[in-house]
Structure 1
Amino acid sequence: MAVAAAPDHLFHLRNNFYLGSFQAAINNSDLPNLSPDDAVERDCLVYRSYIALGSYQLVINEIDSAAATPLQAVKLLALYLSNPHDKESTIASLKEWLADPAIGSNALLRLIAGIVFMHEEDYIEALKHTNAGGTMELHALNVQIFIKMHRSDYAERQLRVMQQIDEDHTLTQLANAWLNLAVGGSKIQEAYLIFQDFSEKYPMTGLILNGKAVCCIHMGNFDEAETLLLEALNKDAKDPETLSNLVVCGLHLGKSSSRYLSQLKLTHPEHILVKRASSAEDSFERAVQSVA
């Protein structure tokens, strides 16, 4: 007789987090009868949701030095993101922990390492810690890293691993959509259908709206993309992906997007679009000076 699988008490909490319903993840986290390991995972998801909402200091203040390793890793991520001008000490602490045989192999610590080094655009270092996999989140992060490295062949291999583990998993579906967007062409429509499916099953989030909008931009449907992005902006006026996608959309529609770019510069000065815009402005200034 088959043994029934134990109920997954954290399924909805994880799903909310993966799809960008961060406040819902926080609000619905009071779950009874959790095992000690599940309680730690629950707390990690809640604190990571606070990080996603920009509440770094709350996370730093609430996680003390006696907390479990995964929670300490989450606190490190909050420290890293809260102070962009002093990343070195956080990265030094991270490397120290990764080198510790007792905790270095912890899956969440490796995931946070992957996220931090991906932020640093040090993809080889990120893969040192994530490539072994072990959790669906690590596999999904590998897909993201390989896409950043323009290695869609390796990303596809990771996606196949995820599909073999659980084809219907939210992260498998998301990774599939990311890869389809990276490959482009006829795959864009497939990516759109994945985000459309999410929007029918779950409450609409900025992540889902941006996913659909980027597909529309690729397909040349800029009016629909703008509508979706303005809906996303109503949910979070400071979301960097929404603002940067609105800048791109505005350029294609012949509309001024300077306000969105100004907001992006103010709230996310390290964003790649801000850096590229600044670099283009500098190049233009130099060109003007050279002919003046």
Structure 2
Amino acid sequence: MAAPDHLFNLRNNFYLGAYQAAINNSDLPNLSPDDAIERDSIVFRSYIALGSYQLAISEIDSSAPTPLQAVKLLALYLSDPSNKESTIASLQEWLSDPAIGNNPTLRLIAGIIFMHEQDYNEALKHTNAGGTMELHALNVQIFLKMHRSDYAERQLRVMQQIDEDHTLTQLANAWLNLAVGGSKIQEAYLIFQDFSEKYPMTSLILNGRAVCCMHMGNFDEAETLLLEALNKDAKDPETLANLVVCNLHLGKPTSRFLSQLKLSHPDHMLVKRISTAEENFDRAVQSVA
């Protein structure tokens, strides 16, 4: 008989974006040393997801195990743009160390950081071998960013063979359905709907449902879901970006949400696209002035 998975609820909270719940319910008794390290990794990654980078940086010291050191690198990378080059240099150094370079958490963090850098080939170098459900799920995300839904689908099939009902398999399936579009949007919506019936509502679940609604042209329902998500986390970049898009379709003002997004997440893709469009427009106006 398989041993009970003491970390199931903790992982699930993290995967579904219930970061505070993951932190609050992390005091688990009788964990093996490996489980305790994984527990700590998830807790610190939850703090990072909530923007508490400094907490992870200050609490993880140089004697901590490799997975925690990798999580600290992610916090350093995200906390300060001027840190990025030195953080990536440290990451490359660790990845080339035969003793720790193959650690799944280190490879996962490498994939996340290089995906942020939009260096997808470098990300895949470290994630493509898989080994954990999180690595497979990250591969799906990377392939979708590369507009290679065919490769993402292959990766999803691997996940379905390992565990069809796993939360990450269901999420990856929803992401792929959204990318493929058409009749698949309804399938993605049903996955997020199922999550919202089984688990407490999070910004991630609400945004998933809202994006499906927007694809199906139901902008009023999408707006309701996104405002609920905003109540849960007023600084969530995806909620703010989706509200900008949703309000454009509804003919409502977008300036407040866009200003919040620019202030809290100046590197967000939507902010960059809008500023590029504004610069192009200004140049065009000057050329005919």
Question: 2:83 and 2:166 mapped to 1: Cα distance?
Answer: 37
Q: Deviations over 1:6-48 (max 9, x none)?
A: 0000000000000000000000000000000000000000000
Q: Residue 143 in 1 paired to residue 136 in 2?
A: no
Query: Where does residue 69 of structure 1 map in the other structure?
Result: 66
Q: Tell me how far 1:291 sits from its aligned partner.
A: 1.1
Query: Where does residue 215 of structure 1 map in the other structure?
Result: 212
* TM-score, normalising length: structure 2: 1.00
Question: 1:154 and 1:97 mapped to 2: Cα distance?
Answer: 28
Q: Residue 187 in 1 paired to residue 184 in 2?
A: yes
Choose the corresponding residue for 2:196, options 162, 182, 199: 199
Question: 1:156 and 1:85 mapped to 2: Cα distance?
Answer: 36
- What are the within-5 Å matches in structure 2 for residues 168-179 of structure 1? 168-179=165-176
Query: Where does residue 227 of structure 2 map in the other structure?
Result: 230
Query: Where does residue 94 of structure 2 map in the other structure?
Result: 97
Q: Is this contact kept in 1: 2:139–2:152, CA < 8 A? A: yes
Question: 2:245 and 2:22 mapped to 1: Cα distance?
Answer: 30
Choose the corresponding residue for 2:247, options 238, 246, 250: 250
Secondary structure of 2:81 counterpart: coil
Q: Deviations over 1:110-150 (max 9, x none)?
A: 00000000000000000000000000000000000000000
Amino acid paired to 1:59: A
Question: 1:151 and 1:286 mapped to 2: Cα distance?
Answer: 34
Q: Tell me how far 1:160 sits from its aligned partner.
A: 0.2
Question: 1:285 and 1:5 mapped to 2: Cα distance?
Answer: 64
Query: Where does residue 56 of structure 1 map in the other structure?
Result: 53
- What are the within-5 Å matches in structure 2 for residues 112-127 of structure 1? 112-127=109-124
Query: Where does residue 45 of structure 1 map in the other structure?
Result: 42
Secondary structure of 2:26 counterpart: coil
Question: 2:71 and 2:44 mapped to 1: Cα distance?
Answer: 7
Indicate the percent of aligned positions where both proteins have the same amino acid: 86
Question: 2:251 and 2:158 mapped to 1: Cα distance?
Answer: 43
Q: Is this contact kept in 1: 2:76–2:83, CA < 8 A? A: no
Question: 1:101 and 1:193 mapped to 2: Cα distance?
Answer: 44
Q: Tell me how far 1:162 sits from its aligned partner.
A: 0.1
Query: Where does residue 11 of structure 1 map in the other structure?
Result: 8
Question: 2:177 and 2:145 mapped to 1: Cα distance?
Answer: 14
Amino acid paired to 1:72: Q
Amino acid paired to 2:213: C
Amino acid paired to 1:73: A
CA RMSD of superposed structures (Å): 0.4
Q: Residue 267 in 1 paired to residue 228 in 2?
A: no
Q: Tell me how far 1:86 sits from its aligned partner.
A: 2.7
Structure 2 unpaired stretches of 5+: none
Amino acid paired to 1:28: N
Question: 1:127 and 1:83 mapped to 2: Cα distance?
Answer: 24
Question: 1:239 and 1:138 mapped to 2: Cα distance?
Answer: 24
Amino acid paired to 1:9: H
Q: Residue 110 in 1 paired to residue 128 in 2?
A: no
Amino acid paired to 2:72: K
Q: Tell me how far 1:84 sits from its aligned partner.
A: 1.6
Choose the corresponding residue for 1:241, options 231, 234, 238: 238
Q: Deviations over 1:186-209 (max 9, x none)?
A: 000000000000000000000000
Question: 1:27 and 1:236 mapped to 2: Cα distance?
Answer: 17
Give aligned pairs, total: 289
Secondary structure of 1:86 counterpart: helix
